[in-house]
A and B are shown apart, each in its own frame.
Chain A
Amino acid sequence: MEPGDIVTVSVDRVILLDIAGQHPELIQNPPARVFDPSKISVVFDHFVPAPNVEMANGTAKIRKLVKRLNLNDFYDYGSGGIAHAFAAESGWFYPGQIVANTDSHSVAAGAFNMLSRGLGTPELMQVMCTGKTWFAVGETLKVDLSGKLSGMSEAKDVFLKMAGDLGDMPNMNIEFAGDGVMALNMDQRTVISTMCAELSVEFAVFPGDEVLRSYVQERGVQEYSPVSPDPSASYAGAYQLDMSEVVPMAALPDSVAGNTRPVDDIQGIKVDQCTIGSCANGKLSDLEVAARILKGRKVHPGTRLIVTPATQSIYLRGMELGYIPTIVKAGAIVTNPTCGSCMGGHMGLLADGETAITSTTRNFKGRMGSRDARIYMASSATVAASAVAGEIVSPSSIPGGS
């Protein structure tokens, strides 16, 4: 196969989301039958719980579809979370799998040595009906990671450094390699793979190593075949990154690729709102670092902090481990798991003229509320530190954070 070729593949699982209920194509033209109901999971995440009557009505239509098509692997309010994070913790993602999901951050699954990419809702209907989809073969960039994260730098900073150096790369793929990969746990790998959607890549795949093996084995997956590059594989190029040299980074408003700077370069910008959450950064490790920075401190009176765990189980563990009580005592709001404000849905939108810093996935103009708001994007540590300071600061400026 050559770049530009199209291959048709069978999928191992389909994930349908509540947001499909807002698509008239599906509501007016629902599938009459599906290829295998046992391979279709329905996860409500985008508008949970329904923020208005339009969303409530759309979601009710998906519940109706669930009954009509006997889709029994169904996760309604209170039982799942953001699909990418929930699928990972449920053992749905493991090497060699192909999963179809509507959300653009489906590329997250590449951390599990497998393939998944964003599809539109009408196209997901085709996969539900036929069990098949197609991928375009693209050139691949090899990203060679070395070293270990140091200080208050996080996986988000590794991605933002990459995004600044590489810029956008539509129709290409990323393959992660190098000794540095072993130093990243699965939460960290999924931050990076999820965020690669912002580079416009098709896939961003990590190797199937021991770290991944123990993660999926703990979730009941024993048998699988890891995928590795052919010895003769050719690459469009290579990019090397020593993670020990990565400093806290931020994306400036309106775009991510080619638009990032060290946090130190933009410190002092006043922020009206700080947000921690999303499929990428609503993990337990994000709650942990936020709690560590906020412990014994208060959110600055000039700003506000909203924290959204990615899944119900992360939410619960965050309570049991004391992270959520610490965050609440600091004067932040902790919401239920949902995509929430990341995509301008609900749970804390931005007003005209406001400036925000967020550890969610996108900073596009108008994405999180007003089209006149400015959105900076950084790690959860940087966001928590900025919430304490009331302005953008590096997490290393908050004593005790590290």
Chain B
Amino acid sequence: MDDKISGRVWGFGDDINTDLMYPHICYTLPEIDRPKYTMWANRPGWASQVNRGDIIVAGRNFGVGSSRPAAANLVGLGIVLVMAETVNGLFMRNAVNSGLPVLRMDGITQWIAEGDIIQVDFQNCTVTREQDGSVREFNRIPDLLMNIVRSGGIIEVLRSQGYIDSEPL
């Protein structure tokens, strides 16, 4: 992951739960087909519109729900960052462990709207809205988590530590 990313924003509201991001049908599908069903109950057709490098900006309580790999579906679609007013702790862990950074920012939904282009600088902890150059700061992601994101997720961390069996199940 680069220290600076830039992407187009998709806007979502409050309480976007894991079951919306990862409907139960995904459990029975081959891995490559699972992301196509992301948000199929609340925003049918959205998954096919997402481009690699896009960003989600959402309201309160993003990711409430189960331990299912909801973040992995977002990564599969090409989403590179989630920003929300507040984020469920389990979703945040799963995102980081899938290599997807997540930022909490009060007032983000009042400032950034769908279609905006934003630049995020993880070194300086700033978000810039391209259209007017306005800048806001965010709290630094703890090193423990950022190192997992930079490694490409927890599996890659475990692989580098020699914990992964080269023979699949």
A residues sitting closer than 8 Å to B (CB atoms) are: 4, 6, 19, 22-33, 52, 54-55, 61-62, 64-65, 68, 102-104, 117-123, 125-126, 129-130, 134, 136, 138, 168, 170-171, 198, 200, 202, 255, 257, 343-345, 362, 364-367, 371
Is B6 on the interface with A (CB-CB < 8 A)? no
Whether A32 lies near B31 (C-beta < 8 A) is: no
Whether A364 lies near B20 (C-beta < 8 A) is: yes
B residues sitting closer than 8 Å to A (CB atoms) are: 15, 17-20, 23-24, 27-29, 31, 40-42, 60-61, 64-67, 69, 72, 86-90, 93-94, 97-98, 139, 142, 144-145, 153-155, 157-159, 161-169
Whether A200 lies near B89 (C-beta < 8 A) is: yes
Interfacial chain B residues near A138, Cβ < 8 Å: 89
Whether B168 lies near A28 (C-beta < 8 A) is: yes
Whether A344 lies near B24 (C-beta < 8 A) is: yes
Q: List 9 A-B contacts (CB under 8 A).
A: A25-B72, A104-B65, A104-B90, A122-B98, A122-B154, A126-B158, A130-B163, A255-B17, A371-B41
Whether A118 lies near B19 (C-beta < 8 A) is: no
Whether A122 lies near B28 (C-beta < 8 A) is: no
Whether B60 lies near A366 (C-beta < 8 A) is: no
> Known contacts A168-B64, A202-B89, A362-B66; can you find 7 more A-B pairs with CB under 8 A?
A30-B169, A55-B28, A104-B67, A119-B93, A120-B67, A200-B61, A344-B23
Contacts A54-B28, A134-B144, A364-B17; A120 near B93 (Cβ below 8 A)? yes
Whether A118 lies near B168 (C-beta < 8 A) is: no
How far in angstroms is the closest Cβ of chain B from A72? 18
How far in angstroms is the closest Cβ of chain A from B62? 8
Q: How far is B20's CA from A134's CA once the two chains are assembled, in angstroms? A: 27
Q: How far is B163's CA from A129's CA once the two chains are assembled, in angstroms? A: 7
User: How many residue pairs between the two chains, A and B, have CB atoms under 8 Å in the bound complex?
Assistant: 157
Q: How far is B139's CA from A371's CA once the two chains are assembled, in angstroms? A: 37
Whether A117 lies near B168 (C-beta < 8 A) is: no
Whether A29 lies near B155 (C-beta < 8 A) is: yes
Q: How far is B97's CA from A30's CA once the two chains are assembled, in angstroms? A: 16
Interfacial chain A residues near B89, Cβ < 8 Å: 117, 136, 138, 170-171, 200, 202
Nearest B-chain residue to A133, judged by Cβ: B93
Which single member of A28, A29, A120, A126 contacts B94 (CB below 8 Å)?
A120
Whether B88 lies near A120 (C-beta < 8 A) is: no
Which single member of B28, B86, B90, B168 contacts A27 (CB below 8 Å)?
B168
How far in angstroms is the closest Cβ of chain A from B42? 6
Whether A362 lies near B65 (C-beta < 8 A) is: yes
Contacts A168-B61, A366-B19; A343 near B66 (Cβ below 8 A)? yes
How far in angstroms is the closest Cβ of chain A from B112? 20
Contacts A32-B162, A171-B89; A362 near B19 (Cβ below 8 A)? yes
Of residues B20, B27, B161, which shows the largest number of chain A Cβ atoms within 10 Å of its Cβ?
B27
Contacts A120-B94, A343-B66, A366-B20; A31 near B40 (Cβ below 8 A)? no
Interfacial chain B residues near A345, Cβ < 8 Å: 24, 27
Whether A54 lies near B27 (C-beta < 8 A) is: yes
Interfacial chain B residues near A19, Cβ < 8 Å: 27
Q: How far is B86's CA from A56's CA once the two chains are assembled, in angstroms? A: 37
Interfacial chain B residues near A62, Cβ < 8 Å: 169
Of residues A22, A120, A126, which shows the largest number of chain B Cβ atoms within 10 Å of its Cβ?
A120
Nearest B-chain residue to A199, judged by Cβ: B64
Interfacial chain A residues near B94, Cβ < 8 Å: 120, 122-123
Contacts A30-B164, A30-B168, A136-B89; A24 near B24 (Cβ below 8 A)? no
Q: How far is B166's CA from A202's CA once the two chains are assembled, in angstroms? A: 34
Nearest B-chain residue to A370, judged by Cβ: B41
Q: How far is B27's CA from A22's CA once the two chains are assembled, in angstroms? A: 6
Whether A123 lies near B97 (C-beta < 8 A) is: yes
Whether B67 lies near A168 (C-beta < 8 A) is: no
Whether B64 lies near A118 (C-beta < 8 A) is: no
Whether A61 lies near B169 (C-beta < 8 A) is: yes
Q: How far is B19's CA from A26's CA once the two chains are assembled, in angstroms? A: 21
Interfacial chain B residues near A27, Cβ < 8 Å: 168-169
Contacts A171-B89, A364-B17, A364-B20; A125 near B158 (Cβ below 8 A)? yes
Q: How far is B29's CA from A129's CA once the two chains are assembled, in angstroms? A: 28
How far in angstroms is the closest Cβ of chain B from A63? 10
Interfacial chain B residues near A6, Cβ < 8 Å: 142, 144-145
Whether A25 lies near B90 (C-beta < 8 A) is: no
How far in angstroms is the closest Cβ of chain A from B154? 5
Q: How far is B45's CA from A388's CA once the two chains are assembled, in angstroms? A: 40
Q: How far is B165's CA from A160's CA once the two chains are assembled, in angstroms? A: 45
Nearest A-chain residue to B44, judged by Cβ: A371
Of residues A30, A200, A371, which shows the largest number of chain B Cβ atoms within 10 Å of its Cβ?
A200
Which single member of B24, B28, B154 contacts A343 (CB below 8 Å)?
B24
